[in-house]
Amino acid sequence: MSAGGDHIVSPKIYVTIWLILLAFTGITVAAAYQNFGIFNPIIALTIACTKATLVILFFMHVKYSPKMIALVIGCGLFFLSILMVLTCADYLSRAWIM
């Protein structure tokens, strides 16, 4: 546990990340008032993923942790992508049948 746990992150970085997260929340709200058509969900999900990445990297200390931790998180994301890709494959290919 020591490799990641020993790293001391300065309050300045925490505050900076927090402000960035607040800014993205503001962008999310602002984007909700605009109609980007097909890009609506894409924009919302991009913002959400960016925020999640910042939280994982800085607040959860993955940026400062051993590579094994990153590997574990990568595995989780990989399996999540299996769920999404194969589920979407079903939805997208339903219309192909004659």
Partner 1 sequence: MSTATQTSLALEMPSDTYLNSSYGVKSWFLTGDHKRIAVMYIVSISLMFLLGGVFATLVRLELLTPAGDLFQSDTYNKLFTMHGVVMIFGFLVPSIPVTIGNFLIPIMVGARDLAFPKINLASWYIYIIGMIFMLAAIISGGVDTGWTFYTPLSTQYLTTHVMFTAIGILIAGFSSIFTGLNFIVTVHRMRAPGMTWFRLPLFVWSNYAASIIMVLGTPVLAITLILVALERGLHIGIFNPALGGDPVLFQHMFWFYSHPAVYIMILPGFGVISEIIPCFARKRIFGYSAIAFSSIAIAVFGFLVWAHHMFIAGISTYSALIFSFVTFLVAIPSAIKVFNWTATLYKGSIHFDTPMLYALAFIGLFTIGGLTGLFLGAIGVDMHVTATYFVVAHFHYVMVGGMLVAYLAGMHFWWPKMTGRMYPEAPAKLSALIVFIGFNLTFFPQFILGYMGMPRRYHSYPPEFQVLNVLSTAGASVLAVGLLMPMFYMLWSLKYGEIAGNNPYRATGLEWQTTSPPPTHNFHETPIVTQEAYDYESQTEEVEVVG
Give me the residues that bind partner 1 (CB under 8 A), please.
75-76, 79-80, 82-83, 86-87, 89-94, 96-97
Q: Nearest distance from residue 8's CB to partner 1, in Å?
A: 24
Q: Is 98 helix (H, G, I), strand (E, B) or coil?
A: coil
Nearer to partner 1, 25 or 81 (CB): 81
Q: Nearest distance from residue 37's CB to partner 1, in Å?
A: 18
Query: How far is residue 90's CA from residue 73's CA, in Å, rounded to a whole number?
Result: 26
Nearer to partner 1, 6 or 90 (CB): 90
Distances (CA, A) of 48 to 20, 34, 95, 97: 12, 17, 30, 34
Dihedral sign computed on CA atoms, order 29, 24, 60, 77: positive
Nearer to partner 1, 19 or 68 (CB): 68
